[in-house]
Amino acid sequence: MKLIKTYLLIPMLFLPLSAETPATPGPATMVHAVPGKLIDMNHGWRFDATDSEKYASAEFDDSKWKVLSLEREWRFYGVEYDGVAWYRKSFTFAPELAGKNLGLALPALTAAYQLFLNGQLIGTVGKIGATGKVEHVREDVQYYELSSSLLAPAPKQNVLALRIASLGGIGGGFAGLDFFLGPNDLIYERHFVTFVVFALMAGAFFVIGLYYLILYFARRDADAALWFALLAICQGAFTLGMKAIVYKFIDNYIVNMIFMHATVILFPTLLLHFGHSFFSVKKDWFLRTIDIACGFGALLFAVHFLVSGMEGFYVIYQLPAHVIFILVAMIRFIWLNWKGYRNGVAASRVVASGGLLFFLCVAAEGLSYLDFLPIIKMTDIGFLVLIFSMAMALAIQLSKVWHEKEEAQKQAFESQALLTRAYARFVPLEFLQQLNKQSILDVSLGDQVQRDMGVMFSDIRDFTTLAESMQADDLFRFVNSYLFRLAPIFTAHQGYIDKYIGDAIMVLFHGNMDAAVKGCIAVLHDIEQYNLDRAKAGYSAISIGIGLNFGRLTLGTVGNPERMDGTVLSDEVNLASRIEGLTKLYKVDMIVTDKVVAQLSNPADFDLRQIDRVRVKGKQLPTTIYECFNADAPAVAEKKRAMQGRWQDALHEYYAQKFEQAGKVFSEIDTSIGGDKISRLYIKRCHELAVAGLTADWDGTHSLKSK
Specify the number of domains making up the chain: 4
Query: 275 and 332 in contact (C-beta within 8 Å)?
Result: yes
Q: Are residues 612 and 547 in the same domain?
A: yes
Over residues 253-300, the pLDDT tens digits come to 778 888 888 888 998 999 899 888 878 888 889 999 999 999 998 998
Q: Are residues 363 and 472 in the same domain?
A: no
Assess whether pLDDT exceeds 90 at residue 91: yes
Query: 506 and 457 in contact (C-beta within 8 Å)?
Result: yes
pLDDT band for position 232 (cuts 50, 70, 90) = confident
Averaged pLDDT for residues 596-612 = 93
Look at 416-425, 450-459, 543-552, 675-684 and tell me which has the smallest mean pLDDT.
416-425
Q: Is 348 exposed, middle or buried (CB count within 10 Å of its CB: 0-12, 13-18, 19+)?
A: buried
When comparing pLDDT for 418 and 84, which is higher? Answer: 84
Q: Are residues 29 and 156 in the same domain?
A: yes
Over residues 377-426, the pLDDT tens digits come to 666 677 777 777 777 776 776 676 666 667 777 776 777 666 656 655 55
pLDDT band for position 519 (cuts 50, 70, 90) = very high
When comparing pLDDT for 246 and 184, which is higher? Answer: 184
Query: 563-569 and 608-615: which strand pairing?
Result: unpaired
What is the C-alpha to C-alpha distance for residues 498 and 516, in angstroms, rounded to an integer? 14
Assess whether pLDDT exceeds 80 at residue 462: yes
CA 67 to chain centre: 61
Q: Are residues 77 and 139 in the same domain?
A: yes
Q: Percentage of residues in the chain with pLDDT exceeding 70?
A: 80
Assess whether pLDDT exceeds 70 at residue 559: no
Q: Among positive and negative, which fits the CA dihedral 132, 137, 143, 149?
A: negative
What is the C-alpha to C-alpha distance for residues 228 and 394, in angstroms, rounded to an integer? 9
What is the C-alpha to C-alpha distance for residues 355 and 424, in angstroms, rounded to an integer? 56
Assess whether pLDDT exceeds 50 at residue 26: no
Over residues 115-132, the pLDDT tens digits come to 999 999 999 988 888 888
Listed residues 369, 402, 435: the one ending a domain? 402
Residue 416 lies in a domain: no
Query: 572 and 455 in contact (C-beta within 8 Å)?
Result: yes
Predicted confidence at residue 331, as pLDDT, reads: 86
Predicted confidence at residue 74, as pLDDT, reads: 47
Q: Are residues 617 and 468 in the same domain?
A: yes
Over residues 133-178, the pLDDT tens digits come to 878 777 778 889 999 999 998 888 999 999 988 776 665 544 555 7
Query: 390 and 408 in contact (C-beta within 8 Å)?
Result: no
Assess whether pLDDT exceeds 60 at residue 13: no
Predicted confidence at residue 10, as pLDDT, reads: 37
Q: Are residues 616 and 638 in the same domain?
A: no
Q: Are residues 604 and 520 in the same domain?
A: yes
Q: Is 464 exposed, middle or buried (CB count within 10 Å of its CB: 0-12, 13-18, 19+)?
A: exposed
pLDDT band for position 16 (cuts 50, 70, 90) = very low
Q: Is 646 exposed, middle or buried (CB count within 10 Å of its CB: 0-12, 13-18, 19+)?
A: middle
Torsion of CA 630, 636, 639, 644, to 10 degrees: -40
Report the length, in residues, of the chain: 707
Listed residues 626, 653, 679: the one ending a domain? 626
Residue of 390, 395, 324 whose CA lies nearest to 358: 390
Predicted confidence at residue 203, as pLDDT, reads: 86
Predicted confidence at residue 647, as pLDDT, reads: 92
Q: Are residues 620 and 637 in the same domain?
A: no
pTM over 0.75: no
Assess whether pLDDT exceeds 50 at residue 11: no
Predicted confidence at residue 170, as pLDDT, reads: 60
Assess whether pLDDT exceeds 80 at residue 560: no
Q: Are residues 608 and 648 in the same domain?
A: no
Predicted confidence at residue 19, as pLDDT, reads: 34
Predicted confidence at residue 40, as pLDDT, reads: 84
Residue 668 lies in a domain: yes
**Owning domain of residue 69:** 2-191
Assess whether pLDDT exceeds 60 at residue 482: yes
Averaged pLDDT for residues 584-594 = 92
Q: Are residues 585 and 491 in the same domain?
A: yes
When comparing pLDDT for 66 and 27, which is higher? Answer: 66
When comparing pLDDT for 242 and 173, which is higher? Answer: 242
Predicted confidence at residue 548, as pLDDT, reads: 95
| CA dist 94 → 30, 88, 157, 354 (Å) | 13, 21, 11, 44
When comparing pLDDT for 367 and 646, which is higher? Answer: 646
Residue 430 lies in a domain: no
Residue 707 lies in a domain: yes
Q: Are residues 152 and 247 in the same domain?
A: no
Predicted confidence at residue 517, as pLDDT, reads: 95
**Within 10 A of 63 (CB to CB), how many other CB atoms are there?**
8
Q: What per-residue string of b and e applies to 605-623 under the rule 16 or more CB within 10 Å gives b?
A: ebbbbebbbbebeeeeebb
Predicted confidence at residue 93, as pLDDT, reads: 92
Q: Are residues 283 and 388 in the same domain?
A: yes
